[in-house]
Structure formats: structure tokens, C-alpha cells
Homo-oligomer: A and B are copies of this chain.
Amino acid sequence: MDNASAAADHAATNSAAHGADPQLVTLADIRVAADRIQDLVLRTPIVALPHPDRPSDVLHLKAESLQPTGAFKLRGAYNTISQVLDESRERGIIAQSSGNHARAVAWLAKRLDLRAVIVMPDAAPPTKVAAVRALGAEVVLVPASERDSRTLELAAEHGYVEVPPYDDVRIIAGQGTVGLELIDQLPDVDVVLVPISGGGLISGIATAIKSLRPEVQVIGVEPELAADAAESLREQRRITWDTTLTYRTVADGLRTPAVGVHPWEHIRRYVDDLVTVSEEQILTAVRHIAVEGRLVAEPSGAVATAAWMHDLAPRGATVAAIVSGGSVDPALMARVLAG
């Protein structure tokens, strides 16, 4: 399958789940989401990180890694589930993810007393599978290539309510609450750096920020080895990379082969630029965030900081970066810290 047809296929699969043309989230949607989710979601702090070479130059980290499940995913998942709570209680919920979305959905299901089925790739690390099971969710292991189709089949067969990972306006509105908080906490921000994978996070943040402060630059950051979004923006069309390419990066949360259909519509309207970082730059950022920011960031969560450290993104007087998650393998973190 070539890139274009793979993209079309991916789009078809994803849109089928919610059966609508791409819609744009509004600031009002994000404000409503903020009210809906505030009882279980942490208003994450802004943590100051000095530049390694220019100590008086400080990056403002929005530490989504401190959410109870270790990543921003809780916001979108909760905003979605809370809108379909009655049917979710009756029929159960289903989600597909190998990582932070799985954990967020399982955690919410436990808190809200819902039955949850999580479809995970059979190559997922046993510790991640165990973590989801420990939260009481049922795990279904399938080959990675069948994740989307098996999830839809199971949902159709059993009537489960699907909680999509990123290609959904409810998810985007939930993730956008990060942007609302950021503008409130750091009103004079000039540049906001956001990790990008499926695109739900940056879509929500860019919508919030451009609605409130159009002059603020919103920049997406992804690994060079999984740079489908940067290529898409350059080519002005949504491009899919094969997972044999995207799975090369250590940033295991950023291996999605293409941004979603709904995110793409937000990204092309609201995002100023997309930049890429190398594997070495990502790991250097993980170390710097730990030593000088005292936060545990996973590689995916460190890409925005990496772009700032290496002057790969536009500079500004007040720059913020989203640390999107902190679920890192302890052995990897040990190697990074040992230097």
C-alpha cells in the first residue's frame, strides 16, 4: 500500500467510528470540557527549566506527566466518557492503545465503575499489559496491524462504547484544556511547543490558544524518525508513514502513522510550524528534564523540550513546552542518567 492509499484507508477506518466529516472544535467546547473534567484531572503546574548552555534562559514546562495516569490522555478520555456515561454504564467501553490512552481509559473506568475492554498489540510490554489489568480492565491482545479493525468488531459485536485515542472532537476538546490552563498560568507566553503524534493534543491546544491569543506561535514537535506530520504540513496533505518507519523512534508514544482526520483540519488551520528532533536530542532532553526540572518524562514527552534545547524551534521571550507524559521504562531512564 502506498502512502496516499494507506492514508485514505486510515482516514476511512477512523472516521467510520464516529461517522462524520471533520469538524472544528471551538473555544466554547474546550471551556465546557474544562468544567466536565475538573474533578478528576490535575491542573498541572508550570515548572521552570533552565537552558543547559544559557542558564538565564528558562523554558516553562507544563507537566502533564503528573496527571494521575502519567499523561494528558486523561483529559480527552474523560471529556468523552462523561458525555456517554449512561450508555457506557449499560454497555461497557472499549479503547485501543498500547500506552497512555489505555491507562487513562482503564483508570477512568475503575473510578466511574464501568466495564472496560482494552485492545492492545500482542507485542506490548508485559508491564504495560499488567498495569492495565491491575486497574480491572479486560485486555484483548491482537496483532498490531489488526488493532483498529478488532476494536470496531468487538464494539459492534458487544455494543461497547468506543473511546477513540485522538481522532474525535470530544477528545480534541478535552486535550485543549491544557491550552486553556497554560494561557491562564502564563499569560505572556509567546511560543508553545507541543509533541505531536495522532494530533489530538496539539489540535486542542492550538484551538484554545489561537482563539484567545492569535499572536502566540504554536509549534508541533515530532521525532525525525516518525515525521509524518511535518511531511504532511509541508505537502499540505495528510500523509501516512509505514509503521516499520515510525516504530524506529524511542518515543513510543509518537509512532502513530499519521495524524487523524479531525486533528489534520485543526493542524492546518492553527499550527504555525512542525519541527523534528533526533533520537539523541530526545534522550538528552529526558536527562535534562530529570536533573534540572526534577520531572520524569518519557521520550515522547521530552520532544518539545528537545527542540527548545537545541534551538530547533522559534525562540521567544516566554516559551512553554508540554511534557506530555512520564511513563518511562526505569531501565531506559537509568541508562540515560548514567550518561
Which residues on A are within 8 Å of B, measured CB to CB?
42-48, 55, 63, 65-66, 68, 70, 134-135, 287, 290-291, 294-297, 326-327, 330-331, 333-339
Contact = CB atoms under 8 A, between A and B. Distances in A.
Nearest to A48: B68
B290 A333 contact: yes
B334 A66 contact: no
A331 B338 contact: yes
A127 B36 CA distance: 46
A333 B326 contact: no
Nearest to A46: B42
A103 to B, nearest CB: 12
Given A65-B294, A134-B55, A330 B334 contact: no
Contacts of A296: 290-291, 294-296
Contact of A70 (B294, B333, B334): B294
6 contacts: A42-B47, A45-B45, A55-B134, A63-B66, A291-B296, A338-B338
The 6 A-B pairs at the shortest CB distance, nearest first, are namely A294-B326, A334-B337, A334-B338, A294-B296, A330-B337, A48-B68
Q: Which of A48, A68, A70, A291 has the most CB of B within 10 A?
A: A291
Contacts of A46: 42
Contacts of A327: 294
A290 B291 CA distance: 12
A294 to B, nearest CB: 3
A67 to B, nearest CB: 9
A72 B43 CA distance: 20
Q: Which of A44, A55, A290, A294 has the most CB of B within 10 A?
A: A294
Nearest to A135: B55
A106 to B, nearest CB: 12
Nearest to A330: B337
Given A295-B295, A295-B296, 10 more contacts: A44-B45, A45-B45, A45-B63, A45-B66, A66-B294, A287-B330, A291-B330, A294-B327, A334-B334, A334-B336
Contacts of A339: 330-331, 334
Contacts of A294: 65-66, 70, 295-297, 326-327
Contacts of A65: 294
Q: Which of A65, A287, A297, A334 has the most CB of B within 10 A?
A: A334
A311 to B, nearest CB: 20
Contacts of A290: 296, 330, 333
Contacts of A338: 330-331, 334-335, 338
A326 B46 CA distance: 16
A327 B65 CA distance: 19
Contacts of A334: 333-339
A46 B63 CA distance: 12
Contacts of A42: 45-47
A53 to B, nearest CB: 11
A37 to B, nearest CB: 15
A61 to B, nearest CB: 9
Nearest to A290: B296
Nearest to A287: B330
A163 B315 CA distance: 37
